[in-house]
Every structure is written in C-alpha cells, then in structure tokens.
Structure 1
C-alpha cells in the first residue's frame, strides 16, 4: 500500500503565468534540484508551453539533462564554471553564470580557442557572500577590460539576501548597489528578483525575474496569505490501527503516552521518504476535514497518528500535504522551510501528474 504524491502541472503553469503577468520584463523558471524535487523532465515542457523561454539550474549536469527536453530554450547553470567544463557548456549550448575571475578566464579561453564570442551571465556579489564577483574583482575588470574579450555578457544578476522580509532595509540597499555595479556592463540586461523579490515592488523589477519556489506553491510572502496555487498533494493509506490503553506509549523511546483510550493509525511513510524526524509529536495530517495529530517518533518507514476521534479504518487514507495543510504548514511544524519539504519528497511515493 503505497503513498500517493499528486503533482498538479496545471497549477504550476498557472503560477508561472501569474508571476509573468506581474513582471514587466521576462520571467524565467528555476528548475534546479530536479524542479525542487517535483520532476524537471515533466515540468519543463509544461512551463515552456505556458510561455517560459529561460530556465535556470544549479549544476551543469542538470542543465545538460534539461537540454534534451528543451532543445531551443535558453538554459543557464547558476553555479559557475570549473576546469575542463567550458567545452561541455559550449557543446550543449548552456549559458554559464560566471561568478569569479577564474570563471571568466576559463570562458575567455574557450572563446579564444573557438575564435568566436560566447554568451554568459555574470553573477555580482552583493551581500550573500556565497558566489559572485566581489567589488575587488569588479574593479580588476574595470581596470583591465580585455579580460572580457570574447565574453559576451548577456545578463548581470545577483541574489537578494532577505527578499522574504520586505521591511528589511538590506533589500533596497542591495538593489541600489546592484544597479550601480551593473552599470559597468552597459549592454547587459539585469536580473534581481527571485520568487519573493518579485513581490517587493517595481524597484525590484528588472529585465529578467527568476522565480523558483513560488512556481511550486511555496508562499513567497510569508507574512501574508499565499498568493500562489498549491501544487502537491500527498496521501497515504492506513496500514493498521491499534487500540492503546491510557498510560501506554507509542513508537521509539516512548515519547508519546496515551492519556485516554486511543486508536493509533500507522502509515507507511517516514523520514526515508522525506517526512522529517523533526515532525515527531508536532505534525498533523487530515482525515477528510478533520486534523489528525502525529503522535510518537517518526521512524524510517512508519509514522503514527491518533485517529481516536474519527471513524478511520485500515485502508482509509490520511492527507499529509494538501489544500488544508500545505508545504509551508508542514515546514513550520518541522522548523524548516517549504523548499526543504519539497526537495525531500521521496522516490518511494507513487507519483501522479495531473492537470496537464
């Protein structure tokens, strides 16, 4: 009896169209981590049909796999170049996002060897301190522009530090610093907003937006109701129901003890499926419209719920993710974010794509 993960392709397409309608420039789609765990091979054609023309991955391997599905789209890999990879970027028509002088030197050498300019995007470091050209490196480029010979900078981009906190002054200061730094590349388009950044207002709207999580139903405005459609529904059948007397415990270490005669349902879902151990004694599922508390320790393959107050029987299903209890709600219970919930969803679930 296998848990069922339904992924609504129609909702994903609708989410992209909604975001594209609110952004005056081009709206891309971020498909890194196998489209946040939902299956890039199935989602990419749906987004392309909806009108998306530019796609981002994290790694080159992800981009090469996507090229097989999207032969004419612009595909960019965010994590930069590494030695001996430039030829693969060129062969598969993948745009590298260059984030260091070393990256630029590798792409420059590839362009020189081919005798033709090669397109790229430049990542400018504006406060995240992960990837990107630092102020010192930008000054080096300014002093020696020949370093960019053969390197065609199509887009300058950066990544917002606190876009999900709209009142944080770092957002505007980072945007202002980015716009000033991007003037160094007058022919390049600008890309600033991620999912949450698209909701910060017109000052953050540029030539190219890069939504990811919002496409997949994660709330890009955490302080407000979610403006996006839910995308996933996870249900699991009840394997067994045990009658538990007051004082008896459930699961490893006995971290939950019955205070009344209880009926405990066991589901074949656990932390091996991405249903995090941190959900122990905190999460809820739904039986029809009734919330059902998770009781006891989440184990590798099994999780237990208190169904005392509902007429559940073995074979009935509980909804672990759905309209009443989405990825953000489960993330709150796990003390993480919706991104981690989505990217953790396991491969043992039966996956069903709907709404195409």
Structure 2
C-alpha cells in the first residue's frame, strides 16, 4: 500500500530552541546539573523529536512517569539514565526495571520492600515535604526498608515554586533536614520554576520540564526561554455566507454581513480545545483571521475578510505562545502542551 497523503496539520519543533533552553536552565542551576523531565512524550512534543536535542545539549539524567515510557526514551539514551517517577507498584514492574535497566523512584515503604525483595539495586527516593502526592514521609526515613536501599538521587517536589509562597521555604527546610537522615549520592528539589528560586534550591540536580519546551512558569525565566513549538493547519474549504446565517454548533456565531469564511483542519481532537476559541485568531502571512463559532472535533472556521487571496490548501499559523494562550484560555501552559493530539505528530 502506498504511504498516506501528507497531513493537513503540522507540528514544528525547533530542536535548536530545545537545546538552548536546556543549556540556559543548566546554567541557571549554578553548581548543580540540570536533568530533564521527558514524561508524557516530552510534554506532548514527541520523544523522538525532542530527546536527541536535549541529550546532545549535554543532559544526562531523564525523568518519565510511567514504565510504559521507558522504551521510547531508551531508543536515545542509556536506560540507566532514565528515572521512573511512579516507582514499582507491582512485582512485574520490578522485573521490568531490572530487565530494562531503568531506575525506579521509590515512593513508599511498600515500594522499598518490593524493590529489595525483587533483587534491589540502585534506586532514587522521593520524600514528601508537603505536596502530599507521592513520597515517603520524613518520619519514615529511619525505617529498615529505607535504610536497605542503594539511593542515588534523594528528591522531593515543590508545590508552589511558580508563586512567591512561604511554602517554598518550608519545603526547602524540610528537605534539607531529611538529607542527614538517609544515605544518598545526589539531592534534587527544583523543577523549572524552582530553578528561579535561587541556588539554595538547586542542590546537586535540578529537574526542569516545562521550560525546556518553551513554558515560562515564572517571569524570571522570560528572557532565558525560547518558544519551541509551532502549529500550522490547512484550509480545507472556502465558502461565502450571507448576513443572518450562522456558523458551527449551536449557531454560536451569526453573520451580521455577507462574508467569506474558511474551514480549517484543526479541532479539539488535536488539542485545540474549545476554551481556546473565544477571541483567538489564526494567521495567514501575518494577517489575523478571527475564529467564528465553536471549536469542533476536527475543524474550526475563520473569517477571511483580512485575506481575500486565501485559497483551499493554504496553511494558517495557530497561535502557540504558551503564556498568552494560557492567559486567554484559562488553561495552564502544561495543559496546552500535553493535550496536543496524535494527528499533529504523524
């Protein structure tokens, strides 16, 4: 069978910007080294696209959430450089870790026992210093199950690093106190936003994620981080409508004049959620084409008055400044990246 025709959607990833962002975050980490969170398919932009650029920039430590994410990362880096944040929930995950060579992050006494009973080896340990998600409690660090572990990275996770919150200092103090309670080789606390909190938060290793991919969780990073992703969608039909006619589901837009409109190959199945519709414009050669009506699963409709020369098959740019899109839609920058649909990645 012949290969499928070219898609009517494009996701462009700037590998140089990825590399530059990681290098900037590494430099901002001071004496610490920067790793990279590559979970969720490199925050939605594609592991095969992104990981080689981050690796070649100098990154040596990578973090995924699920064991199912290990194989894709291991195509590009040594599995021993991959940490799995959710840890070994079952015996088969212990067996997989030992076979694949990825390193589990231990999050509970039960996981610690399971890892040791399965043969043990190098692991990382998450301490819960206040976010109340995963991690052992500070009071559990003296438990024999923890004492038995060969811990490379001792880590915790900041809950409010993107804010000037007193909780940041509390978590820092708790984490610093925990370091003397358990043997480990390296310590890690700061995420992308945490890097901006200063060298006290950096320890030995920082774990940026969002900012590698162009997100700016704190204004201190605005001058350091470059946009990485761009989206383009093709016009799939042109039409003219008369004053009084409506567009799309629920007749959410009604024309007040005769107008020319374009249907564009982009919708919420591609990660362009309905929350992004109101007030948004696509662009053609720098000209803004406002969205009309509701975002559909596979299509949006735009007003073409500013582009009388627009034709079927032409490509439109989709706004993807993460900070601006987050402010206008109410979605977080993390959501804007990770909801990108699979059709953009073909």
The CA distance in 1 between the partners of 2:228 and 2:150, in whole Å, is 37
Counting only pairs closer than 5 Å after superposition, residues 60-209 of structure 1 correspond to structure 2 as 60-71=67-78, 74-84=81-91, 85-111=93-119, 118-134=121-137, 138-142=138-142, 144=143, 146-148=144-146, 150-165=148-163, 167-209=164-206
Give the C-alpha shift of residue 283 in structure 1.
Answer: 2.1
Q: Which is bigger in relative contact order (C-alpha 8 A, separation at least 6)?
A: 1
Give the C-alpha shift of residue 110 in structure 1.
Answer: 2.0
Runs (5+) with no aligned partner, structure 1:
112-116, 352-356
Contact 1:118 1:150 in 2 (8 A): no
Give the C-alpha shift of residue 242 in structure 1.
Answer: 2.4
**Partner residue of 2:19 out of 13, 36, 40:** 13
Q: Please give the secondary structure, in 1, of the residue aligned with 2:96.
A: helix
The CA distance in 2 between the partners of 1:258 and 1:226, in whole Å, is 42
**Partner residue of 1:347 out of 338, 342, 346:** 342
Q: Please give the secondary structure, in 1, of the residue aligned with 2:218.
A: coil
CA-to-aligned-CA distance 1:202-250 (integer Å, 9 cap, x gap): 2211101001111111113258746311111111122223223333221
Contact 1:272 1:300 in 2 (8 A): yes
The CA distance in 2 between the partners of 1:270 and 1:132, in whole Å, is 38
**Partner residue of 2:58 out of 51, 63, 87:** 51
The CA distance in 2 between the partners of 1:312 and 1:197, in whole Å, is 48
The CA distance in 2 between the partners of 1:327 and 1:278, in whole Å, is 14
Distance 1:260-1:31 versus aligned 2 partners, 3 A rule: same
The CA distance in 2 between the partners of 1:131 and 1:312, in whole Å, is 55
Q: Please give the secondary structure, in 2, of the residue aligned with 1:233.
A: strand
Q: 2:4 matched to which residue of 1?
A: none
Q: 2:3 matched to which residue of 1?
A: none
Contact 1:53 1:73 in 2 (8 A): no
> Displaced runs of 4+ in structure 1, greater than 4 A?
none
Q: 1:272 matched to which residue of 2?
A: 269
The CA distance in 2 between the partners of 1:257 and 1:62, in whole Å, is 46
Distance 1:26-1:73 versus aligned 2 partners, 3 A rule: farther
CA RMSD of aligned residues (A): 2.0
Distance 1:140-1:185 versus aligned 2 partners, 3 A rule: closer
2:326 is aligned with 1:331: yes
The two structures have a TM-score, normalised by structure 1, of 0.88
Give the C-alpha shift of residue 73 in structure 1.
Answer: 5.1
Q: 1:354 matched to which residue of 2?
A: none
Aligned length: 337
Q: Please give the secondary structure, in 2, of the residue aligned with 1:69.
A: coil
The CA distance in 2 between the partners of 1:223 and 1:256, in whole Å, is 40
The CA distance in 2 between the partners of 1:53 and 1:229, in whole Å, is 21
Contact 1:108 1:149 in 2 (8 A): no
Distance 1:226-1:292 versus aligned 2 partners, 3 A rule: farther
The CA distance in 2 between the partners of 1:312 and 1:73, in whole Å, is 55
The two structures have a TM-score, normalised by structure 2, of 0.91
Q: 1:318 matched to which residue of 2?
A: 316
2:34 is aligned with 1:34: no
